[in-house]
Amino acid sequence: MKTSEIRDLIDFISKSGLNEVNIETKELKLQVKREPDQKVFKSTSVVAPVAAAPVATAAPVASAASAPAPASKAPAASSDSGKKTIEIKSPMIGTFYRSSGPDAAPFVSVGDKISKGQTVCIIEAMKLFNEIESEVSGTVVRVMVENSTPVEYDQVLFVVEPD
């Protein structure tokens, strides 16, 4: 891999919002990390050596996403009980998972009490598993996304009634 290709790859990674990328070929081993304070799980899938074409193909998808931010919250319409609710939204484009594995219990369900900083789901983006943490304490009123479905940036994932 040429130095210019490595620079382009690092530039692409910084714009895509990824936290960690590992690339290993016969000639090269490249590891790029940023924002070490965020929790990131590695995929167990085997990754084929990266060629120029897949990077170019992935660029339009990644450029559509903004850099991930902590799970955002926004006031929502009042619930039936007349209390205010808060929406936990997706900070990135990816695949939504309610649990850490197919046989594991969901991180949160309707009626569960959650606290600020508690993991509420995982979003997989480009083979990286990102834990999404709640920015608010309260009770989960609704789960807005089905397990293993794609989500968009800023899509509502959960509706929470704050404490």
Domain annotation for the chain: domains and CATH numbers: 3-64 (no CATH), 72-162 (2.40.50.100)
The residues that bridge with 140 in the sheet, in sequence order, are 160
Q: What is the pLDDT of residues 112-157, one digit of tens each?
A: 999 999 999 999 999 899 999 999 999 999 999 999 999 999 999 9
Question: 108 and 26 in contact (C-beta within 8 Å)?
Answer: no
Task: Sheet containing 119-125: give its strands across.
Answer: 40-42, 128-133, 119-125, 94-97, 149-151
Q: What is the pLDDT of residues 48-58, one digit of tens each?
A: 444 444 444 44
